[in-house]
Amino acid sequence: MVLHNGEESIETRRAIVERIPRRNKYHLAPEHRLPLVTNVGSTEPGGFISNLIVTVPAESVVRSIASIVHRIHPTTTVCLLQDGLGVMEAVNDACFPNYRDQPLYVLGHMSHVLGKENGEAFSVSEIRRGKLYLSALGHDFAESDITYHPPIEHNSRIAHFLNIMSTTPRLQAGGYSLQKFMALKLHDTIIQAVLEPLTVVLDCTYDVLVDNTYGKQMIDQLLGEILNVVARMPELKDSPDIRWMILYGELRRDVYRRLARLQNSTSRMRSQTNRGFSSDIDYLNGYFVERGRELGVRCPVNESVIWMVKAKHEQCLAKIRSEVQLEPL
Residue 285 clears pLDDT 50, i.e. is over it: yes
- Highest average pLDDT, of 50-54, 116-120, 173-177, comes from 50-54
Average pLDDT of 98-125?
79
Report residue 241's pLDDT band, with 50, 70 and 90 as the boundaries: confident
pLDDT in tens, 130-158: 789 999 986 444 443 444 434 555 678 88
Residue 79 clears pLDDT 90, i.e. is over it: yes
| 206-239 burial code (b ≥16 CB/10 A, e <16) | beebeeeeebeebbebbbebbbbbbbebeebeeb
Query: CA 160, CA 266: separation in Å to the nearest integer?
Result: 39
pTM of the model: 0.81
Q: pLDDT at position 250, please?
A: 86
Q: pLDDT at position 91, please?
A: 97
Residue 228 clears pLDDT 70, i.e. is over it: yes
Residues facing residue 134 across a β-bridge:
108, 175
Residue 27 clears pLDDT 70, i.e. is over it: no
Strand-pair category, 51-54 with 15-19? unpaired
Query: CA 2, CA 121: separation in Å to the nearest integer?
Result: 9
Q: pLDDT at position 168, please?
A: 84
Report residue 34's pLDDT band, with 50, 70 and 90 as the boundaries: very low
Mean pLDDT of the chain: 82
pLDDT in tens, 154-193: 678 888 899 899 888 778 889 998 888 999 999 999 999 9
Q: pLDDT at position 144, please?
A: 39
Q: Distance of CA 23 to CAs 27, 67, 197, Å? A: 7, 10, 31
Residues facing residue 132 across a β-bridge:
110, 173
